[in-house]
Amino acid sequence: MVLDRTENEADYNNSKYVIHNTSFAAGGPVLKIPKTRAYYVNESMMRNNETGPNEFKFYGPNPGDFMWLVNKRFGNMQPENWYLLPRAYSITLVPEPDSSDSSDSEP
């Protein structure tokens, strides 16, 4: 599966992650997961972010920014729903080496 893009960025409540799926057995070639759906995290993250009885949120740096959290061992996942791991949509940009910095160029 490959995260392709998000749809409806301007309307957060209707925004979705669009994932290209290589397994047709998993629901077809394109999956759309609402951005408002909870994110799958490990048990330690769940324990560290319990905000109430059976309520788990991870708060961001800005007021009002948070993600709902789920984990199968905590029993708060819904059947037939897809969830993203937060690291699934993280990317790291690595600059291409500058050809002028090459060590095998001649003086």
- In this structure, the answer to whether residues 51 and 24 fall within a common structural domain is no
Output the average pLDDT for the chain: 78
- In this structure, the answer to whether residues 23 and 47 fall within a common structural domain is no
Q: Please say if the pLDDT value at position 76 is more than 50.
A: yes
Which residues, in sequence order, are CB contacts of 43 under 8 Å at separation 6+? 71, 73, 74
Q: Please say if the pLDDT value at position 42 is more than 60.
A: yes
pTM: 0.64
How far is Cα 46 from Cα 58, in angstroms, rounded to an integer?
9
3-class DSSP string for 20-55: ECCCHHHCCCEEEEECCCCEECCHHHHHHCEEECCE
- In this structure, the answer to whether residues 61 and 71 fall within a common structural domain is yes
Is the residue at 42 inside a domain?
Answer: yes
Q: Please say if the pLDDT value at position 47 is more than 90.
A: yes
- In this structure, the answer to whether residues 10 and 47 fall within a common structural domain is no
- In this structure, the answer to whether residues 65 and 75 fall within a common structural domain is yes
Query: What pLDDT, on a 0 to 100 scale, did the predictor assign at position 106?
Result: 47
- In this structure, the answer to whether residues 19 and 44 fall within a common structural domain is no
- In this structure, the answer to whether residues 30 and 43 fall within a common structural domain is no
Query: What pLDDT, on a 0 to 100 scale, did the predictor assign at position 85?
Result: 78
The structural domain count of the chain equals 2
Sheet holding 30-34, edge to edge: 2-7, 16-20, 30-34
Query: Which domain range does residue 72 map to?
Result: 38-88
How far is Cα 77 from Cα 40, in angstroms, rounded to an integer?
9
